[in-house]
Amino acid sequence: MCGIAGWMEKDSLMAERSQTLKAMSETLERRGPDENGIYINGDTALIHRRLVVIDRENGKQPMSARHNGVTYVIVYNGELYNSAALREELRADGFHFRGHSDTEVVLKTFIKYGTRCGEKLNGIFAFAVFDTRERSLFLCRDKIGVKPLFYYEYKGGLIFGSEIKALLASSVVKPQIDEQGLNEIFFLGPARTPGCGVFRNVFELNPGECATYKNGRLTRRTYFSIEAHEHTDSEAQTIEKTRSLLTDAIERQLVSDVPLCMLLSGGLDSSVIVKVASLYNRAHKLGRPSTYSVEYVDNAKYFAKSKFQPTRDYEYIKMMSKDAGTRHNEVLLDNKLLADALYDSVEARDLPGYVDVDSSLLLFCREIKKDFTVALSGECADELFGGYPWYFNRERLFENCFPWSRSQKVRRMILKDGVLKNGEEYVRQRYLDTLSAAPKLHSDTVEDARMREMFFLNFYWFMQCLLERKDRCSMACGLEVRVPFCDYRIVEYAYNMPWKLKALGGREKGIVRKAFEGILPDEIAWRKKSPYPKTHNPVYFNECAERVRSILKKKNNLTEMLNKKAVERIIENPGSITEPWYGQLMKAPQILAYIVELDFWFEKYKVEIFA
C-alpha cells in the first residue's frame, strides 16, 4: 500500500513548485515510509510514497511505460488480487514485464484497455495515469471503495490525493467548511455522504468510479455498480458458492513478499480468515500463521453484558488460535493512552471520526507494525450478510431512517438553538437518496426489497465508515490491512441472495456459518455476533469528561455552536444517553470523545466556517 497525490494546472510549470510538491508528499509519509518519488512534466506532477509489499526493486513509482510512441506514467495505491491472470493475458498480447509488481500490471492494463481498465481489476486500489501525448489524467478507485481518492477541482486545475491533508498542503485548498460540511459532521458523522470530502469543494471518487481530467475539465463515470439479478442457486449451491468465493478471496490476499499476519477477535468473520489461511499455509508448507487480538486494561473487571455484546472474546480467541495452530499475540491498551490517541486518529482521518473505535485500532496497528507489514481483517461481513441486530428486529427493519442513527435528538441537544436548523432534513434527504439508488426486481417480496435497501444503506454508509477507519488508522502506522470480504464478487453474490438464504437458520450471517460448519469449531461457527471490543473502564470516561470540561471553558468556533449545559448534563449523567450517536458503540463516553476530536480538529486544521 502507498500514498499518492498529484497536481495538474494549465499553463503552469510544476518544477517551480518543487517545495510545495515536497510538502504534499511529506503529508503522506506514514502511508509510504519506505520510498518516495515525484514525477514532473510541464504542467503536471505525480507524487508517490511507497510501503514496500511486493517486488521492491521493480515496483518503484512513479512508474512509466512507453507504448506505440506514447509514455504513460502511473502512481498507484493498492493491491491487485488477479494480478497473475492479467499479467498472462497481457503477455499473450505482446506486453513485456520487467518485474512482478501489480503496479506494472495496472499500468499496462490501462495501456491496453484505456478508461475501461477498472472493469478488469479485482483488488483494492486508487491510482492515476498520466498520458503524455493527450496531456490527460485518468483517476480510478476500486469497486468497493477500500482505498481513498480525494480531489479538488478549480478553474484551470485539479489536485488529488489519498488523504485530504495532501490537498491542504498545496495551499490552494483552504480548510474551510460551510453549512453542508457542518451538517456532515454534526448530523451524519462519523459517516460521510458518499463522495463528500466535508471540507468545502473537496470531493472523493465514489466506489467503482473513475474520472478523466483533460483540457481543464473533469469527467466522472461509474464503471462498476451493484445490479439486481435473480438468484437461481439452490440452498446447497449457495452454501458451496459462498464458501468457495470466500476461500478464494482469502487465499488471493495471502500473497506478499513481506511478513503477513491476521487480526483475530474470536468471532465468525476473523475466524473464517484465520482458518482458511491456516489450511493454506499447511498445504503450501508456509509455517504457522500469526494472529493478533486487542484488549483493554481491567476490561474484564468492568465488562457489562448486553444484547449487543453478550460475551467477552478471550475464550473464543484462545479456542480459535489453538484450532488453527497460530502464534497468537494479545495487545493490551491503556485507557489514558486510548484517550490521548484520539488526537492522532483525527490526524489520520483529517476529520473527527469513530473516536475510541478509531484510536484503539490505531494503537493496535502500531504494535502489529513492529513485526508485520501486512494484516488481514474480517471487516464488512456484517454489512454484506446481514450481521447487525437491526436486520432481525422487524419494527426497526422497516423504520424509515438510518438504522444505526435512528434519531438526531442527541445531536440536536448538544447544539445551541438555531444552529444548523436544517440538520434533520439534511439527514432525511441523504437517506432517501440512498434508497432510490438500490436496484430491485419486480419479483422481490416486500422483505427482500427492504433488504436490498438495507444492503445499500449499510454498504454506502456504515461499511464505508468502517473501511475509512481501517485504511486511515492502519496506514497511519505504515501497516497494510486487507479485507477479503470486500471482494467485489462476494458483494455481487450477497446482494442478490434472498434473505431466507442469507439468514439461514434465522441467524445473522447464517449462510456464512453454514458454509464453514465443520471447518470451524462449532462454538465459533455458531457464536452470537459480538462487536469490535471497546473499553468499559471508567478511567476512559473520566479522561474524556475532563478534556470536555476544559473545552467548554474556551471561546472558539466549536463552543459557539455547543449547548454547554446539555454537554455538562452528559458528563454528570451519562446513563441518560439511551439512543446511540452512531451504531451500538457510541454512547456517552464516545459523544464526549467526539467533542474532544471536534475541538482538536478545528484548532489543528485551522478550520474556517465559510458563511
Beta pairing partners, 375:
261, 481
The residue count of the chain comes to 611
Per-residue model confidence (pLDDT) at position 579: 83
Do residues 447 and 500 lie in contact, with contact meaning Cβ atoms separated by under 8 Å?
A: no
pTM over 0.85: yes
Report how far residue 451's alpha carbon sits from residue 440's, in angstroms, rounded to the nearest whole number: 10
Beta pairing partners, 156:
none
Report how far residue 535's alpha carbon sits from residue 523's, in angstroms, rounded to the nearest whole number: 24
Q: In the chain, pLDDT over 70 holds for what percent of residues?
A: 98
Which region, left, alpha or beta, applies to residue 401 given φ > 0 means left and ψ of -120 to 50 means alpha?
Answer: beta
C-alpha torsion 200→202→208→214, nearest 10 = 130
Q: What is the pLDDT of residues 156-208, one digit of tens each?
A: 999 999 999 999 999 999 999 999 999 999 999 999 999 999 999 999 999 99
Q: Closest by alpha carbon to 551, among 559, 563, 541?
A: 559
Q: What is the pLDDT of residues 547-579, one digit of tens each?
A: 999 999 999 999 999 999 999 999 999 999 988
The 8-class DSSP code of residue 50 comes to: E
Parallel, antiparallel, or unpaired for β 70-80 and 217-222?
Answer: unpaired
Per-residue model confidence (pLDDT) at position 536: 83
Q: Cell 494479545 sits at which residue?
A: 330
| Maximum Cα interatomic distance, the chain, rounded to a whole number of Å | 71
Per the structure block, which three cell numbers stand in for 151? 480531489
Q: How confident is the model at residue 513 (pLDDT cuts 50, 70, 90)?
A: very high
Per-residue model confidence (pLDDT) at position 308: 58
Task: Compute the C-alpha angle 158/470/477, nearest 5°.
Answer: 85
Report how far residue 563's alpha carbon sits from residue 414's, in angstroms, rounded to the nearest whole number: 5
Go through 218-242 and write b for each residue having 16 or more CB atoms within 10 A of its CB, e for each that does not: beeeebbebebeebebeeeebbebb
Report how far residue 310's alpha carbon sits from residue 266's, in angstroms, rounded to the nearest whole number: 13
State yes or no: pLDDT of 302 exceeds 90. no
State yes or no: pLDDT of 303 exceeds 80. no
Do residues 489 and 122 lie in contact, with contact meaning Cβ atoms separated by under 8 Å?
A: yes
Report how far residue 579's alpha carbon sits from residue 536's, in angstroms, rounded to the nearest whole number: 18
Per-residue model confidence (pLDDT) at position 184: 98
Beta pairing partners, 222:
209
Considering Cα of 180, then 186, then 187, then 193, what sign does the dihedral take?
Answer: positive
Which 3 state secondary structure label does DSSP give 110? helix
Half-sphere exposure of 316 (CA within 13 A, CB side): 26
Per-residue model confidence (pLDDT) at position 78: 94
Report how far residue 72's alpha carbon sits from residue 590's, in angstroms, rounded to the nearest whole number: 47
Per-residue model confidence (pLDDT) at position 305: 66
Q: What is the pLDDT of residues 248-265, one digit of tens each?
A: 999 999 988 888 999 999
State yes or no: pLDDT of 73 exceeds 70. yes
Q: Which residues contact 440 (CB under 8 A, 6 or more apart)?
A: 228, 449, 452
Per-residue model confidence (pLDDT) at position 306: 62
Q: How confident is the model at residue 441 (pLDDT cuts 50, 70, 90)?
A: very high
Q: Distance between terminal CA atoms of the chain? A: 38
State yes or no: pLDDT of 324 exceeds 80. yes
Q: Crossing angle for the helix pair 538-552 and 335-349, nearest 10 degrees?
A: 60
Q: Which residues contact 432 (CB under 8 A, 6 or more apart)?
A: none
Concerning whether 544 is annotated as a catalytic residue, the answer is: no
Report how far residue 225's alpha carbon sits from residue 206's, in angstroms, rounded to the nearest whole number: 10
Q: What is the pLDDT of residues 266-298, one digit of tens each?
A: 999 999 999 999 999 999 998 899 999 999 998
Which region, left, alpha or beta, applies to residue 386 given φ > 0 means left and ψ of -120 to 50 means alpha?
Answer: left
Report how far residue 561's alpha carbon sits from residue 551's, in angstroms, rounded to the nearest whole number: 12
Q: Crossing angle for the helix pair 463-475 and 355-369, nearest 10 degrees?
A: 40
Q: What is the pLDDT of residues 29-64, one digit of tens each?
A: 999 999 999 999 999 999 999 998 887 887 899 999
Query: Considering 2, 261, 365, 544, which one is annotated as catalytic?
Result: 2
Q: What is the pLDDT of residues 476-507, one digit of tens each?
A: 999 999 999 999 999 999 999 999 999 999 99
Which 3 state secondary structure label does DSSP give 4? strand
The whole-chain average pLDDT of the chain stands at 95
Per the structure block, which three cell numbers stand in for 120? 478488469
Per-residue model confidence (pLDDT) at position 257: 83
Q: How confident is the model at residue 304 (pLDDT cuts 50, 70, 90)?
A: low
The whole-number average pLDDT for the span 105-131 is: 98
